[in-house]
Amino acid sequence: MNIEATAVPDAYRITPRLLTDDRGSFHEAFRSDALERDTGHVFTAAQYNHSSSRRGTLRGMHSVLLPPGQAKYVSCVRGSVLDVVADLRLGSPTFGAYTSTVLEAHGGTGVFVAEGLAHGFVALTDDACVSYLCSTAYVPGTQVDVFPLDPALGLPWHLGLTGEPLLSPKDAAAPSLARAADLGLLATYDECRAHYARQRRTR
């Protein structure tokens, strides 16, 4: 598999090598040892989630308070989505930067999202199914939501939308980027770097 850095430090695009024959294809979707070797990030899955979405559904932007923090490996296992990762770590040299990737089930490409980054996607097909490997189990009260259509984020949802997005009530009511910062919901860049270093030391 190929692990590629993106415009957002600590977010990586992972493209597998497909083995194909007349029956279809097979690929290794993810390897934690390869991620650690190529990026220095230690990742062990503690929870596995799926979401299924109608075309035009927008889910995001989501993160988790640090601590506990939550890294994710995200892939699309049915249909396709426009996946977006944004750097919302306060004090980051690339604060506000984002990267987008079209994830398609037949291609197998996935995205690794380190702790402190925000993630979301818009479904490009009906019944798009997204898979998430998460480094920590869900802890009520630790989810961080930022309004995905906040102009301050400037995210490229228009590339995947033909009309108004379908948002959950929670995402529609999420705070703006500025309000999330005022509420103390965003991790700092230094906190995240220290967290990544602790993970490596306790490996």
**Per-residue model confidence as pLDDT tens for the chain (203 residues):** 999 999 999 999 999 999 999 999 999 999 999 999 999 999 999 999 999 999 999 999 999 999 999 999 999 999 999 999 999 999 999 999 999 999 999 999 999 999 999 999 999 999 999 999 999 999 999 999 999 999 999 999 999 999 999 999 999 999 999 999 999 999 999 999 999 999 999 87
The catalytic site residues sit at 62, 132
Three-state SS for the chain is CEEEECCCCCEEEEECCCEEECCEEECCCCCHHHHHHHHCCCCCCCEEEEEEECCCEEEEEEEECCCCCCCEEEEEEECEEEEEEEECCECCCCCCCEEEEEEECCCCCEEEECCCEEEEEEECCCCEEEEEEECCCCCCCCEEECCCCCCCCCCCHHHCCCCCCECCHHHHCCCCHHHHHHCCCCCEHHHHHHHHHHHHHCC
